[in-house]
A and B are shown apart, each in its own frame.
Chain A
Amino acid sequence: MIDYKKLGFKSGLEIHQQLNTGKLFCRCQSLLRKDEPDFEIKRKLHAIAGETGKVDVAVEYEALQGREFIYQGYEDSTCLVELDEAPPEMIDEEALKIGLQIALLLNCEIIPVTQIMRKTVIDGSNTGGFQRTVLFAQNGFIETSQGKVRVDSVALEEDAARTISRENKKVIYRLDRLGIPLVEIATAPDLKNAEQVKEAALKIGDILRACNVKRGIGTIRQDVNISIKGHPRVEIKGFQEPKMMIKTIEKEIERQQENKKGKSCVRNAMPDGTTKFLRPMPGAARMYPETDLPLLEIKRNLINLVKKDLPKLRSEVKEELKGVGLNEEMMSLILKGERLEDFKELLQIKNEPNLIAKMLVLWPKDFAKKLNISVDKIMKKLNLDVLENVLQSLEKEEISRNDLQEILFEVAKGKSIIDALKVDKISLNEVEEFVAKLIKEKPGLSVGAYMGIVMKKFKGKVSGKDVMEIIREYVE
């Protein structure tokens, strides 16, 4: 067991999460593209001194000498702002709103007036030579089982261009990622042990996922800062999942103990739990005001508006769903598939939580397997309109509950919802006609016998329950 207290272990988290909106300072879509770019722009950067002039320009100059940056763009989704050919537009309002949601869920205070800053970045990953960033919330906290963890700051910033290839003096970037809004969350160095680091990361992840953020690999970046007594701070980047945090932190502590003379540096988290030197710790970021934009005022009424409609955390939603009577497995599937909103809407039509859950998350998978097409395509066919329609028909008793899956399967196969519902109606009438005729022709048989004949005739096109009900009407 590691004695964290004795080690003087200190740790803080820094999390970057892409928001699911358009770009932060232009009105382009945030769309990562795999198709061939339409054009390339060739640029150079030159050495500059920052606001306080503390930079060793000579070093920077050497580093930039002869370096060339190629930026790939698309005619229909790259604009002059990304090309550093036009001033920025005002901050994306939706991104700001989501940022505020996240900050409020982190119990932060919102800064009512703030300034958009340029953070100098000269590796070419930003066409302008800087990244725009704005601090808008501070002094928050999250609760963990081991106590409160302070959240120092929440900022909104532009993501950098995506590296496509890197040679000695030439780096190729793609502009699709440049400018996608990121929320940056930094905790205080309050984390007392690896377990708490992981718990805090999961907790913040829970808050982020409650809001409209991008999902999938590369959309969240989690860095952990660690120091122990006698070793300067080390930043570990590139955690793919919080699961690995404990193992990685423990190994890093071991490494630091064996290597007390180590320098402050940035290290990469490797899949096996070890870390690998990435680069020396950068100096304090050089920041100066974005002179093309006015001060950012976050008005009280916007904050109130956001407060009124704060999304619920996954943990809270789970509690709520339990109350509705949904079982644990279905609950997880609904949340994982991000169908909560749809679920709630359908529940208003018919209060059958488990049936609705099946319609939303289980059947589409079954259909996809049966029809050998992707779940996505099935989902598109079984959209909310279709599901609402089917449930309304069920509520009005126009169709039978037992036919629900079959009707949706027909829709999945390509039938329109109207046809799928109609077919069923006709078939019930047909069944009734057939039953009436049968009883006339062969009176006196047992219910079971009639049942057998009818079921044989309609072969699975009709549910036994429905047939039974019809027969009973005539026989009794």
Chain B
Amino acid sequence: MRISEIEPGTKVKLKTRKGNFACRILESPSKEIILIKLNSGYNIGIKEEDILDLKVVKEKDDSSFRPSQFLDAVSCSSPVPLPSAQKGKKNNEIASLSQEKPNIALVVTGGTISSRLDVKTGGVKWLTKTDELLKFYPEILEIANVAKIEVPFMKASENMDAKDWGKISEVVVKLLNDSSISGVIVTHGTDFLHYTASALAFSLGKLNKPVVLTYSQRSSDRASSDANLNLICSARVAVSDIAEVVLVGHANSDDDFCYALPATKVRKMHTSRRDTFRPINSKPTAKVFSDKIEMIATYNVRDNKKKIKIKNKFSDKVALVKFYPGQSPDILDFYLKKGYKGLVIEVSGLGHLISEGKNSWIPKLKKLTKKMNVCASAQTIYGRLHPLVYSAGRELEKTEIIFLKDMLSETGFVKLSWILGDKEMRKEVKGNMLKNFAQEFNECLGEEEFLN
């Protein structure tokens, strides 16, 4: 029997040039190497050419190697009630809700927080059942009943696009308009989470109930996963009076409290830290502990009776361009030729692009703004654009480019996509881009709104 024909998980006895092993075959990342699990728990690789003899011990020893048991064990012995898991109910209908606890809904979209270790491959894969998340993090159920779980799709956030924002909005608005639901938690990959946060803030408008986006930076197989506190605090916000779109996650490296961060003023600032999301040009909305919330900013108060209407069309003909030293403006021709309708350029300093010499952007931009909506955001991330301070900025202003003040580039990109996606709003792009829809502008930048 050829090794490659043996199903992962099969128990075998191997005779090899490197010794004999009683082991299990695992899925190998490489063709030439057979990955095996020894009885000691260690995995090692054997080169196929080193194998002298192989005997299958018992086909599919499922008593101790069913990957799904990784999850089953949790549901069988978890000390807190797991209504969804225990009764074997199907997705979306969850039995035995507690009368005392408010109901919340969960929208699962992918990301590390919805992935788990796949024992066969040793890689990380999506949760296959929607309520699995609760089996990993049962503590959330001490705060609220998770009455509904929706899964519009499962994606790593770098694979999401403008259509996906529309889809998530659609799912969320249904839940917000459901009188049995107190609030909604959206779990999401971290990379582009802040884009989705902005998209929801714009498309949902003034809210009736809390919409909380959350994530994890450390996978669920670790006892140290940050998802635990993030979900507990998210549930705390979802049942609170804060009727806003907020992003909830670790405030610092401690497992102590989270920040609720305003959806349009937040950015992923670190590749790996659990407190990666930071408020930019803004304060956090609130400090969230597992058992209490301390407000920092004013907020829109819950109004359960209100029904929400969404504007969830986003144009995919918008691009985000980062300006770099010596860059030729020729790149603009590309976007025009490809039929783009909007452009956000991350400009330097207070609002500058090359304004002299052969690479000057000014002449091209003057023509371009007649055909396309072009905005400028600050590549410094923090601070506000002030194009009138230097002549380069004054030159740029003459091109009719729209300066986005203190708005984040990412938020500007999403907003432009939203405005261009809406038939009415796109008639007045400049006016709408500069209108404060969802706290994307902060008129009064304070001392504490830098590097926090």
Q: Which residues of A contact B (CB under 8 A)?
A: 41-59, 61-62, 64, 80, 83-87, 109, 111-115, 117-120, 122, 127-130, 133-135, 138-139, 153, 155, 284-289, 291, 294-295
Contact indicator B42/A43 (Cβ below 8 Å): no
Please encode chain B, from 64 to 98, with 1 for each CB lying within 8 Å of some chain A CB and 0 for all others.
11100111111001110000000000000000000
User: In the complex, which residues of chain B have a beta carbon less than 8 angstroms from the beta carbon of A54?
Assistant: 64, 69, 73
Known contacts A51-B119, A113-B44, A117-B42, A295 near B70 by CB under 8 Å: no
B180 CB-CB contact with A under 8 Å? no
User: In the complex, which residues of chain B have a beta carbon less than 8 angstroms from the beta carbon of A117?
Assistant: 41-43
28 CB contacts below 8 A, A to B, read: A42-B254, A42-B255, A45-B223, A46-B225, A47-B74, A48-B220, A48-B221, A48-B222, A48-B223, A51-B70, A54-B69, A55-B73, A56-B77, A62-B79, A85-B274, A86-B272, A86-B273, A111-B45, A113-B47, A114-B42, A114-B43, A115-B45, A128-B222, A284-B40, A287-B41, A289-B117, A291-B117, A291-B124
Contact indicator B30/A43 (Cβ below 8 Å): no
User: In the complex, which residues of chain B have a beta carbon less than 8 angstroms from the beta carbon of A287?
Assistant: 41-43
Rounded to whole Å, the gap between the CB of A286 and the closest CB of chain B is 7
Separation of A80 and B218 alpha carbons in the complex (Å): 13
Give the size of the chain B interface in residues (CB under 8 angstroms): 53
Contact indicator A58/B79 (Cβ below 8 Å): yes
Contact indicator B42/A291 (Cβ below 8 Å): no
Residue of A nearest to B70 (CB): A53
Known contacts A109-B19, A117-B43, A53 near B124 by CB under 8 Å: no
Checking B19, B78, B256 against A61 with a beta-carbon cut-off of 8 angstroms, the contacting residue is B78
User: In the complex, which residues of chain B have a beta carbon less than 8 angstroms from the beta carbon of A109?
Assistant: 18-19
Known contacts A41-B254, A291-B122, A53 near B73 by CB under 8 Å: yes
Please encode chain B, from 272 to 299, with 1 for each CB lying within 8 Å of some chain A CB and 0 for all others.
1110000000000000000000000000
Please encode chain B, from 28 to 63, with 1 for each CB lying within 8 Å of some chain A CB and 0 for all others.
011001010010111111110000000000000000
B224 CB-CB contact with A under 8 Å? yes
Contact indicator A122/B117 (Cβ below 8 Å): no
B452 CB-CB contact with A under 8 Å? no
Contact indicator A46/B139 (Cβ below 8 Å): yes
The 8 A-B pairs of least Cβ separation, nearest first, read A129-B223, A113-B45, A53-B69, A53-B73, A287-B41, A289-B122, A45-B223, A115-B43
Contact indicator B44/A135 (Cβ below 8 Å): yes
B228 CB-CB contact with A under 8 Å? yes
User: In the complex, which residues of chain B have a beta carbon less than 8 angstroms from the beta carbon of A45?
Assistant: 223-224
Separation of A286 and B40 alpha carbons in the complex (Å): 9
Separation of A155 and B40 alpha carbons in the complex (Å): 12
Separation of A42 and B224 alpha carbons in the complex (Å): 11
Contact indicator A115/B69 (Cβ below 8 Å): no
Q: Which residues of B contact A (CB under 8 A)?
A: 18-19, 29-30, 33, 35, 38, 40-47, 64-66, 69-74, 77-79, 117, 119, 122-124, 136-137, 139, 218-225, 228-229, 253-256, 271-274
Residue of A nearest to B38 (CB): A135
Separation of A67 and B56 alpha carbons in the complex (Å): 45
Residue of B nearest to A153 (CB): B40
Checking B18, B41, B223, B253 against A47 with a beta-carbon cut-off of 8 angstroms, the contacting residue is B223
Known contacts A86-B272, A114-B44, A127 near B122 by CB under 8 Å: no
Known contacts A48-B223, A53-B69, A42 near B256 by CB under 8 Å: yes
Rounded to whole Å, the gap between the CB of B282 and the closest CB of chain A is 24
Contact indicator A112/B77 (Cβ below 8 Å): no
User: In the complex, which residues of chain A have a beta carbon less than 8 angstroms from the beta carbon of B219?
Assistant: 291
Checking A61, A112, A284 against B41 with a beta-carbon cut-off of 8 angstroms, the contacting residue is A284
Contact indicator B71/A130 (Cβ below 8 Å): no
User: In the complex, which residues of chain A have a beta carbon less than 8 angstroms from the beta carbon of B254?
Assistant: 41-43
Residue of B nearest to A127 (CB): B224
User: In the complex, which residues of chain B have a beta carbon less than 8 angstroms from the beta carbon of A47?
Assistant: 74, 223
User: In the complex, which residues of chain B have a beta carbon less than 8 angstroms from the beta carbon of A288?
Assistant: 117, 119, 122, 221
Contact indicator A58/B222 (Cβ below 8 Å): no
Contact indicator B119/A43 (Cβ below 8 Å): no
Rounded to whole Å, the gap between the CB of B82 and the closest CB of chain A is 11
User: In the complex, which residues of chain A have a beta carbon less than 8 angstroms from the beta carbon of B256?
Assistant: 42
Separation of A120 and B229 alpha carbons in the complex (Å): 20
Contact indicator A129/B222 (Cβ below 8 Å): yes
Contact indicator B224/A129 (Cβ below 8 Å): yes
Known contacts A61-B79, A84-B218, A49 near B73 by CB under 8 Å: yes
Residue of B nearest to A286 (CB): B41
Contact indicator B45/A57 (Cβ below 8 Å): no
User: In the complex, which residues of chain B have a beta carbon less than 8 angstroms from the beta carbon of A138?
Assistant: 19
Contact indicator A128/B253 (Cβ below 8 Å): no
Separation of A115 and B122 alpha carbons in the complex (Å): 10
Separation of A48 and B38 alpha carbons in the complex (Å): 22
User: In the complex, which residues of chain A have a beta carbon less than 8 angstroms from the beta carbon of B272?
Assistant: 80, 85-87
